[in-house]
Chains A and B, each alone.
Chain A
Amino acid sequence: ETGVTQSPTHLIKTRGQQVTLRCSSQSGHNTVSWYQQALGQGPQFIFQYYREEENGRGNFPPRFSGLQFPNYSSELNVNALELDDSALYLCASSPHRQDGTEAFFGQGTRLTVV
């Protein structure tokens, strides 16, 4: 167990709706990254938060947004859901150091858009 927890574990939403996914990072980790993993694919980087600011962003549209709170927990919000948003959403926490420390992943939220 990594100490990174995500909620909910599963979610079903209708196209056009909005969704909020939550992540509690491992103690001592101040950087949170979000990834989208479609079935049969590797995780794709969405964005990263450090000290409550977006620190970097992948190739995702603005309807994907996030927040980081003072306790380093984080939210991923997706507006105007599309069928292709169906995926496993992974949160990873890490110290903000550029060394060999790996990112620890949560168990993920499986989002299904119908």
Chain B
Amino acid sequence: GQNIDQPTEMTATEGAIVQINCTYQTSGFNGLFWYQQHAGEAPTFLSYNVLDGLEEKGRFSSFLSRSKGYSYLLLKELQMKDSASYLCAVRDLNTGFQKLVFGTGTRLLVSP
């Protein structure tokens, strides 16, 4: 089966750093994605990891450990506009086609 776990809610202060963790269990792992979703809007792509290690893109970084089934999204120099839900998704190829399996999302609230 597939299981994606991430915290439901996190709070942080403007200018700070926050780390959102994601653990997963899947038999057909072929990459992990992080998406940002503002309320009522579509998810927008943030990052992709398929090999172990850290991928950095501006203020956002994402880390993957395949042996541990673990990833995190690191957001630096937080801004108010970063208040959103952050979705961890695993691409599953076990069934012969690619689909994304999403966690429930982590709602991040950035306060002044």
Query: Contacting chain A: which of B11-19, B59-67, B72-80, B97-105?
Result: B97-105
**B residues in contact with A44, CB < 8 Å:** 102
Chain B residues touching A, range? 20 to 34
Q: State whether B42 touches A45 (Cβ < 8 A).
A: no
Which among B96, B100, B101, B105 is the interface contact of A103 at CB below 8 angstroms?
A: B100
Chain A count of residues within 8 A CB distance of the other chain:
28
**B residues in contact with A108, CB < 8 Å:** 41-42
Interface residues of chain A, those whose CB is within 8 Å of chain B, are: 2, 33, 35, 40-45, 48, 50, 55-56, 58, 88, 90, 92, 94, 98, 100, 102-108, 110
Interface residues of chain B, those whose CB is within 8 Å of chain A, are: 4, 30-31, 33, 35, 40-45, 48, 50, 87, 89, 93, 95-105
